[in-house]
């Protein structure tokens, strides 16, 4: 199955970000991708965390969800919409949500980011819990590929990457990790953690990222990656916007699971 991960350097204007996303989704689809995945916060990297509240949508309705739905159905692809903010019962908090759409435009999965990022080092400080409400459960969905296989695709987001028990619970063939990793933590931990998740779960990993210097002054690490169940990088983009294409080979995954059956069955 051909898949594509989109790297962006999203700014403070949602309309401009959506325009860029549309162009890159089109490029990925033209390249033959069945599944296309956007990065975390594809729609907005605001001046403050509270900017997410201003564009938050009710689940099932809103211009961002309409955009994702329309792209999936127009191009006939499976589309994992990075993350976007959805409203909660608390007007001061949103969920950081991945929505997945089938080629006919149906929403087939919703995942609310479970592990909220917090980091402080010198003048660099983040705390997603100030405006975000954490999700409560792992989510995976089934994707019938054009060659007749049914892939179990597990959803996660950015900081989730540090919690291997979440990935064990997903029991997935392909793991999606849309992210906006900080430059500080990304240069030390991003690739090694992604490769570890692939190896320990005998699964393909696709990690679309934010990558570069943003209009709000933040710098994200980038390095969008596609990784085999053996832990080998097969596609990579360091910084800047673009598309990483990869061919996920079902036979390669199954062969590894036959060679390492103890790993395949060791689930929490």
Q: Which of these is catalytic: 43, 113, 128, 248?
A: 113
- Which residues are CB-contacts of 237 (< 8 A; sequence separation ≥ 6)? 7, 211, 222, 223, 224, 243, 244
As a whole number of angstroms, the distance between CA 207 and CA 179 comes to 7
Per the annotation, the verdict on 255 as an active-site residue is: no
Which member of 43, 52, 57, 158 is catalytic? 158
Q: Is 40 a catalytic residue?
A: yes
The residues with which 220 forms a beta bridge, in sequence order, are: 182, 212
The C-alpha atoms of residue 64 and residue 67 are separated, in whole angstroms, by 5
Burial class (CB in 10 A: 0-12, 13-18, 19+), 97: buried
- The yes-or-no answer on residue 137 being catalytic is no
Length of the chain: 268
Candidates 99, 160, 94; CA nearest to 133 is 94
Catalytic residue among 34, 40, 128, 241: 40
Name, in order, each residue with C-beta under 8 angstroms of 29's C-beta and a sequence gap of 6 or more: 4, 36, 75, 76, 77
Residues 6+ apart with CB under 8 A from 188: none
Unique residue bearing structure tokens 């950081």:
96
Which residues are catalytic, by number?
40, 113, 158
């Amino acid at each position: 199955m051909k898949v594509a991960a989109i790297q962006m350097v999203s700014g403070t204007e949602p309309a401009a970000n959506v325009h860029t996303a549309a162009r890159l989704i089109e490029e990925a689809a033209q390249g033959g991708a069945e599944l296309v995945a956007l990065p975390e916060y594809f729609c907005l990297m605001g001046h403050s965390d509270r900017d997410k509240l201003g564009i938050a949508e009710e689940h099932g309705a809103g211009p961002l969800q309409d955009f994702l739905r329309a792209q999936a159905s127009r191009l006939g692809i499976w589309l994992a919409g990075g993350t976007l903010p959805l409203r909660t019962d608390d007007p001061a908090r949103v969920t950081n949500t991945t929505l997945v759409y089938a080629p006919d435009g149906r929403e087939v999965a919703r995942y609310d980011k479970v592990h909220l990022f917090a980091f402080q080092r010198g003048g660099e400080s983040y705390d997603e819990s100030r405006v975000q409400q954490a999700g409560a459960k792992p989510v995976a969905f089934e994707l019938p590929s054009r060659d007749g296989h049914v892939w179990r695709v597990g959803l996660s987001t950015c900081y989730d990457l540090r919690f291997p028990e979440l990935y064990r619970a997903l029991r997935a063939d392909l793991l999606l990790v849309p992210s906006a990793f900080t430059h500080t933590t990304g240069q030390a931990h991003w690739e090694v953690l992604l490769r570890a998740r692939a190896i320990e779960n005998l699964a393909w990993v696709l990690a679309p990222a934010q990558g570069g210097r943003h209009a709000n002054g933040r710098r994200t690490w980038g390095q969008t990656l596609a990784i085999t169940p053996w832990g080998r990088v097969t596609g990579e983009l360091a910084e800047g916007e673009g598309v990483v294409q990869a061919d996920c080979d079902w036979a390669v995954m199954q062969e590894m699971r036959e060679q390492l059956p103890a790993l395949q069955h060791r689930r929490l």
